[in-house]
Amino acid sequence: MTDDRRFHRTHPWISFRHHLERADPLHWSLLGEAAARCDQVAQAVLPPADAWSMHRLYLVKGVRGTTAIEGNTLSEEQIAAHVEGRLDLPSSQEYLKTEVDNVLGAVNDVFEGIMGGGPPTLTPDWIAGANRRLLEGLEDHLERGVVPGEIPAHPVGVLRYRGAPREDCAFLLGRLCEWLEGDGWPVRPDRREDRTASAILRAVYLHLYLAWIHPFGDGNGRTARLAEFMVLAREGVPSPSAHLLSNHYSLTRAEYYRQLDRSSRANSGRGDPLGFLLYSLRGFVDGLREQARHLADIQLRLAWEHFVYGEFRRMRSSTAMRRRREVALVLGRSGSTVPRRAIPELNADLARSYAQKTGKTLTRDMNWLVRRELLERGREGYRAKVESMRAFQPARAGGEVRGETG
């Protein structure tokens, strides 16, 4: 019988009920958008170099989010340098790199399991192993009596929150895994159309419940974020997107702790996970929208280059045409307005092309590109008209609707 367990009296919010029957339309709207945008990222077509760059960008953001919220002070730039083997720190700060390495290694372990054909199953042993992996090599920096991966006998908490009774933690971890891997959810992973939405819901609830149970002596937050990442990644959420929740929690750290606190105190102390779910979904969708813009920028650059090459293929090749083509390409990649005098300095090819030319040549080139509507001239200089690649911009007051006939 489980009715006599102490947590029923001390932590009644740990009820293993999702309360989704009370979710309002905003929950479902955000969940649907999040699932759709995850699928959009998963299906994006990018050159390998751009895909790797995006993967690394969000890996660094996710690793920093996971470690920074626990007090790690390394910046994104420092973590990126460490990933590339370029970060030197004094010996007193080496443990910061160990924390980062542990998260990187744990993330790689998740991917190796998925790619090896055996996606991880959420079990108490997996959760305990994740905690050990994240605290490996950090024993000298842990409180006395803390053993990675083990439930301590002494109470554990964060700020004013205290975790579940120690004698109940093992039971609660087992019950949590059974609940999350079960099918008592309105969206289910065994239905293909529900797979991503189900992963998002389960990942957020997993994070919240691990924070509520708080089973380990240290690293509970890191373990919750890694477990959340695992559930997303194993169900096909692409790596850049699977790191976004960790980044959101770090960017909104004070609100993160407020939401965790409110979630247990809500409903007259019986708990309500829907507030934390809404907070997580909002941040996740914001991150996914940013990713969509990032992808669009990359794809716009690629489309611009394809368009420019196509335009110049229709013209007789000459030194002047090659020079003008390079100007259009470089300004398109920069995405900004460049003063006329700075254009020959944008890259080595342009510097060589204009080295023996007068200012009149540069002026003629710019005027030609403006007439061809490849560039636009403004008060601050010249910019590429890359927006011509956006085929279906929404109509705006005072503007024309492109492509309409009648």
**What integer pLDDT is reported at residue 2 of this predicted model?**
47
Residue 178: its pLDDT value, please?
96
Q: Which are the contacts of 29, defined by CB distance < 8 A and separation ≥ 6?
A: none
| CATH T-level assignment (fold) for domain 7-295 | Fic-like fold (1.10.3290)
- Position 403 scores a pLDDT of 43
**How far apart are alpha carbons 215 and 219 in whole angstroms?**
10
* Residue 158 half-sphere exposure toward CB, CA atoms < 13 A: 22
Burial class (CB in 10 A: 0-12, 13-18, 19+), 156: buried
- Which residues 6+ apart lie within 8 Å of 116 measured at CB? none
Is the model's pLDDT at 220 over the cut of 70?
Answer: yes
Express as a percent the part of the chain with pLDDT over 70.
Answer: 96
Comparing 191 with 303, which gets the higher pLDDT?
A: 303
Strand partners, 378: 381
pLDDT bin (cut points 50, 70, 90) of residue 393 is low
Does position 26 have pLDDT exceeding 70, yes or no? yes
Taking the C-alpha atoms of residue 131 and residue 72, their distance in angstroms, rounded to an integer, is 17
- pLDDT band, residue 397 (cuts 50/70/90): low
State mean pLDDT over 86-98: 92
User: Quick one: pLDDT at residue 267?
Assistant: 85
> How many angstroms separate the CA atoms of 192 and 41, rounded?
17
- What is the Cα–Cα distance from 158 to 171, expressed in whole angstroms? 21
Q: SS3 letters for the chain?
A: CCCCCCHHHHCCCCCCCCCHHHCCHHHHHHHHHHHHHHHHHHCCCCCHHHHHHHHHHHHHHHHHHHHHCCCCCCCHHHHHHHHCCCCCCCHHHHHHHHHHHHHHHHHHHHHHHHHCCCCCCCCHHHHHHHHHHHHCCCHHHCCCCCCCCCCCCCCCEECCEECCCHHHHHHHHHHHHHHHHCCCCCCCCCCHHHHHHHHHHHHHHHHHHHHHHCCCCCCHHHHHHHHHHHHHHHCCCCHHHHCHHHHHHHHCHHHHHHHHHHHHHHHHHCCCCHHHHHHHHHHHHHHHHHHHHHHHHHHHHHHHHHHHHHHHHCCCCCHHHHHHHHHHHHHHHHCCCECHHHHHHCCHHHHHHHCCCCHHHHHHHHHHHHHCCCEEEECCEEEECHHHHCCCCCCCCCCCCCCCCC
| pLDDT value for 196 | 94
pLDDT at residue 402 in the model: 45
User: Given this model, what pLDDT does residue 69 score?
Assistant: 86
Cα Rg of the chain (Å, integer)? 26
Domain boundaries, the chain: 7-295, 315-389
Residues 66-88: tens digit of each pLDDT: 999 888 999 999 999 999 999 99
Per DSSP bridges, beta strands 375-378 and 161-162 are unpaired
Q: Is the pTM of this model over 0.85?
A: yes
Q: What pLDDT digit, counting tens, does each position of 150-183 carry?
A: 999 888 888 788 999 999 999 999 999 999 999 8
Q: What is the pLDDT of residue 405?
A: 40
Residue 399 has pLDDT above 60, yes or no: no
* pLDDT confidence of residue 70: 85
How many other C-beta atoms can be found within 10 angstroms of the C-beta atom of residue 370? 14
Q: Tell me how far apart the alpha carbons of residues 252 and 210 are, in angstroms, rounded to a whole number.
A: 19
1.10.10.10, 1.10.520.10, 3.40.50.970, 3.30.420.40: CATH of 315-389:
1.10.10.10
Determine contact, residues 340/354, Cβ cutoff 8 Å: no
Return mean pLDDT, the chain. 91
Indicate whether 3 pLDDT > 90.
no
Per-residue confidence band for 392, with pLDDT thresholds at 50, 70 and 90: confident
